[in-house]
Structure 1
Amino acid sequence: MVEELAQADDAVAACVDAAAWALPEHELIAALDAAHRLEKRLAAVKLALIREVDGRGTARAQGASSTAVWLRDRLRLTIPSARRLVDLATTLDTSNPGIRQALADGVISLDQARVIADTVETVNRSADAETADKAVGVLTDWARQFDPTHLRKLGTRILDHVAPDIADATAQAALDAEARRAAHDRHLTLSEQTDGRLRLTGTLDAETAGLLRAAIDPLSAPCGPDDQRSAGQRRHDALADLCRLTLRTGKLPEHGGDPAQVVVTTTYEALTRQLGTGTLDTGLHLTPDTVRRLACDATLLPAVLGGTGQPLDVGRQRRLITGPLRRALVLRDRGCAFPGCDRPPRWCHAHHIHHWADGGPTSLTNAVLLCGHHHRHLHHSDWTVQLAGDGHPEFIPPAWLDPEQVPRRNHYHRRT
């Protein structure tokens, strides 16, 4: 299979540099149709490979917390996209060979395959296998005429066409299935931009959407006739107000032994002379004015940093990795330090590199920040961790995974 895919790759590469402008119109359209059909067939191959990777447990064997996380790191996908691929690969492999074949034949697209699979899942809960097969045939035929959005709308009444005697009874089942999909697809992604801002993307289920609107709408109203902010700017400011109000309640859960807090790193000179910037423990940068404003309503936690950004003095040592020592660990690792993991500091445990039970000290040079999954994985696998010459953690993979055992680092928490 690898050799055949390599040959297909070479053939496609030859087409990339071909002069499309020289094609007569009918050949241009034919080439577009062929490229689209090839894309759909390759999607079928990709799903089959993902299903095999997931079934073998390859992701967890290589240290990832799930196949979706492994795909994110391997193929540079977003987690939602990777999760949808894994789910569809599983669905088509276990219960929908007709949909898989239609995709392999280039008859339907990946998005249409998702719609048909979702619809057939609903049919299976209220009808027999024969009816489900009929639904696949009808939807596949419709897919030649309708895009995924229209196809999903038509699919809500598919039983009117394949089993009208039970159509009304299953209408509620379709609504319930949609609610389950909404719950499964809920997510919120925070993407750091190069200038320190965050891009928020995601999908809220109906209940959470109602809660957000109820909380944010009163705060996003115009302040008066002279309010020149756009609607989007007002919602942004309302979200900031909502976060401030929540932090002031003092009722947020603790993390790492410390109460919920915003940690800003700066220098004493920058704070007193209004020079330079500050850095949040998430890696985002703040202007001098913002740092001074936050300092007006905050407890100052001093930290002295060396030339490589290593915390040198963060207060007295404690037996547990909490308080000043944990804050130093967050400043250094910025999140789970295991390669390929993007878990933030507040989701992480502090791990002793030289185990406490074996006489290892509780110190910054003997600690690394790990999420729950990778903390367990490190204790029960052949991976090892050490501090490199610059004082930052690096992980040595087992020989079966990398015979050269080249040290690996996490690149998701870089601040530059």
Structure 2
Amino acid sequence: MVEGLAQADAAVAGCVDAAVWALSEQDLIAALDAAHRLDQRLAAVKLALIRELDGRGTATAHGASSTTVWLRERLHLTITAARRLVDLASTLDTAHPGIRQALADGHVTLDQAQVITDTATTVHTTAGPEAADKAVSLLTDWAGQFDPTHLRKLGTRILEHVAPDLADAATQAALDAEARRATRDRHLTLSTLTDGRLRLTGTLDTETAGLLRAAIDPLSAPSGADDQRSPGQRRHDALADVCRLALRTGELPEHGGDPAHIVVTTNYDELTRQLSRGVLDTGAPLTPDTVRRLACDATILPAVLSGAGQVLDVGRQRRLITGSLRRALVLRDRGCAFPGCDRPPRWCAAHHIHHWADGGPTSLDNAVLLCGHHHRHVHQSDWVVRLGNDGHAEFIPPAWLDPEQLPRRNHYHRRT
């Protein structure tokens, strides 16, 4: 397979710089159809590979918390796209091999395969395997005429074609399936932009959508006749108000041993002169005005940093790797330090590099932030953790994973 894919890769590479301007319109269309069909066949191959890797537990062996997370890092996908591939690979292989074959034959696209899979699963639950097979066959034929959105609409009435005697149950089955899809597809993605702002994207289930609207609608109304904010800006400010209210309740669960809070790093001398900019623990910059406003209602802890940003000393409030020492870790590591992990400081625990039970000291030089999964993984595997010459954590993989054992670092939390 590897050799075959290499040959296909070389053949496709030879087409990248081809003089498409010299092709006739008929040849252009034929080439487009061929490229599209090849894309679908490769999708079938990719799903088969993902299914096998998932079954072998390769992701966990490599230190990832799941195959989805491993794919995100390996193929540079969004977490949503990676999860979709893992779920579809498993379903097509075990429940609906006919859909996988249609994908391999170039008869359906990946999106159409997802729609057919969802519909066939619903039909199987309602009318049994024979009706589900008929539904797959019928929808596969329709896929040559309809896009995924239209195909899904047709799927809601598929029982009228494959099991007319059960058509009365079709509406309820469709509603139940839609509820399951809503539960499965619910997600919220927080994407950090280059200037430190955050883009929110996601899909809320019906209940959560109602909760969000109930919370922000009263705060989204114009504050008066002179309110010049757009509706989108008012919703933004309402969400900020809801977050402030939640933080003030004191009822949010702790993260890493500290109450829920935001951390701003700034220069104290410049703060007193109203000149200092600040940085959140996520790396996002803040203006001097914002820093001073937040400082009005904040606990200020002294910290001494070197010119390179290394933490040299931190005012102490508590013992062990909590309080001021943990804040020093957050300033340095900015999240889980394990390579490829993007989990923020609030999801992390402090790990003793030289185990405390073996006499390791509780100090900044002997600590690193790790999320729950990678904390367990480091304890149970042959990965070696150490601090590099610049004072930042690096991880040496076991020899079976990398014979050269080149040190690896986390780049998700790097600030430039």
The TM-score, its normalising length taken from structure 1, stands at: 0.98
Residue 317 of structure 2 is aligned to residue 355 of structure 1: no
Question: Deviation of residue 312 (structure 1)?
Answer: 1.2
Q: Which residue of 2 aligns with 1:389?
A: 389
Question: Deviation of residue 210 (structure 1)?
Answer: 0.6
Report the secondary structure of 1:406's partner residue.
Answer: coil
Deviation readout 1:103-124 (Å, 9 max, x if unpaired): 0000000000000000001011
Question: Deviation of residue 257 (structure 1)?
Answer: 2.1
Report the secondary structure of 1:5's partner residue.
Answer: helix
Report the secondary structure of 1:368's partner residue.
Answer: strand
Question: Deviation of residue 309 (structure 1)?
Answer: 1.1
Residue 139 of structure 2 is aligned to residue 139 of structure 1: yes
The correspondence of residues 145-224 of structure 1 with structure 2, limited to 5 A, is 145-224=145-224
Question: Deviation of residue 256 (structure 1)?
Answer: 2.1
2: distance between equivalents of 1:222 and 1:305?
A: 44
1: distance between equivalents of 2:270 and 2:398?
A: 45
Deviation readout 1:77-106 (Å, 9 max, x if unpaired): 011100000000000000111100100000
1:318 and 1:362 in contact (8 A); partners too: no
Deviation readout 1:276-311 (Å, 9 max, x if unpaired): 420111111101111011001111122111122111
Report the secondary structure of 1:219's partner residue.
Answer: helix
Query: After the TM superposition, which segments of 4 or more aligned residues of structure 1 sit over 4 Å from their partners?
Result: none
2: distance between equivalents of 1:354 and 1:256?
A: 20
1: distance between equivalents of 2:336 and 2:302?
A: 23
1:60 and 1:67 in contact (8 A); partners too: yes
The correspondence of residues 151-300 of structure 1 with structure 2, limited to 5 A, is 151-300=151-300
Deviation readout 1:306-361 (Å, 9 max, x if unpaired): 12211111124854211001111111111110000011111111110010100111
Q: Which residue of 2 aligns with 1:118?
A: 118
Residue type at the aligned position of 2:288: P
Q: Which residue of 2 aligns with 1:129?
A: 129
Is 297-306 or 368-377 further displaced after alignment?
A: 297-306
Question: Deviation of residue 227 (structure 1)?
Answer: 1.6
2:122 and 2:173 in contact (8 A); partners too: yes
Identity, % of aligned positions: 82
1:336 and 1:348 in contact (8 A); partners too: yes
Report the secondary structure of 1:73's partner residue.
Answer: helix
Question: Deviation of residue 183 (structure 1)?
Answer: 1.0
Residue type at the aligned position of 1:342: D
Report the secondary structure of 1:144's partner residue.
Answer: coil
1: distance between equivalents of 2:396 and 2:238?
A: 46
1:317 and 1:363 in contact (8 A); partners too: no
The correspondence of residues 319-358 of structure 1 with structure 2, limited to 5 A, is 319-358=319-358
1:332 and 1:392 in contact (8 A); partners too: yes
2: distance between equivalents of 1:86 and 1:218?
A: 40
Question: Deviation of residue 246 (structure 1)?
Answer: 1.4
1:103 and 1:110 in contact (8 A); partners too: yes
Q: Which residue of 1 aligns with 2:43?
A: 43
2:157 and 2:170 in contact (8 A); partners too: no
Residue type at the aligned position of 1:114: Q
Is 394-403 or 312-321 further displaced after alignment?
A: 312-321
Report the secondary structure of 2:218's partner residue.
Answer: coil
2: distance between equivalents of 1:270 and 1:116?
A: 61
Residue type at the aligned position of 1:326: R
Question: Deviation of residue 65 (structure 1)?
Answer: 0.2
Is 15-24 or 104-113 further displaced after alignment?
A: 15-24
The TM-score, its normalising length taken from structure 2, stands at: 0.98
Report the secondary structure of 2:219's partner residue.
Answer: coil
Residue type at the aligned position of 1:402: D
The correspondence of residues 99-110 of structure 1 with structure 2, limited to 5 A, is 99-110=99-110
Residue 74 of structure 2 is aligned to residue 74 of structure 1: yes
Question: Deviation of residue 189 (structure 1)?
Answer: 1.1
Residue type at the aligned position of 2:225: P
Residue type at the aligned position of 1:188: L
Report the secondary structure of 1:131's partner residue.
Answer: helix
Residue type at the aligned position of 2:154: L
1:112 and 1:148 in contact (8 A); partners too: yes
Report the secondary structure of 1:210's partner residue.
Answer: helix
Residue type at the aligned position of 1:75: L
Is the alpha carbon distance of 1:319 and 1:357 closer, same or farther for their aligned partners in structure 2, counting shifts above 3 Å?
farther
Question: Deviation of residue 230 (structure 1)?
Answer: 1.2
Residue type at the aligned position of 2:206: A
Residue type at the aligned position of 1:233: Q
Q: Which residue of 2 aligns with 1:3?
A: 3
2: distance between equivalents of 1:206 and 1:229?
A: 28
Residue type at the aligned position of 1:3: E
Question: Deviation of residue 146 (structure 1)?
Answer: 0.5
1: distance between equivalents of 2:122 and 2:415?
A: 46
2: distance between equivalents of 1:400 and 1:366?
A: 26
Report the secondary structure of 1:213's partner residue.
Answer: helix
2: distance between equivalents of 1:270 and 1:90?
A: 57
Consecutive unaligned residues in structure 1, runs of 5 or more: none
Report the secondary structure of 1:386's partner residue.
Answer: strand
Is 175-184 or 381-390 further displaced after alignment?
A: 175-184
Residue type at the aligned position of 2:346: R
Is 313-322 or 388-397 further displaced after alignment?
A: 313-322
Deviation readout 1:229-258 (Å, 9 max, x if unpaired): 111111111111111111122221112222
Question: Deviation of residue 175 (structure 1)?
Answer: 1.3
2:301 and 2:315 in contact (8 A); partners too: no
Deviation readout 1:172-195 (Å, 9 max, x if unpaired): 122112111111111111111111
Residue type at the aligned position of 1:347: W
Report the secondary structure of 1:126's partner residue.
Answer: helix
Q: Which residue of 2 aligns with 1:301?
A: 301
Report the secondary structure of 1:218's partner residue.
Answer: helix
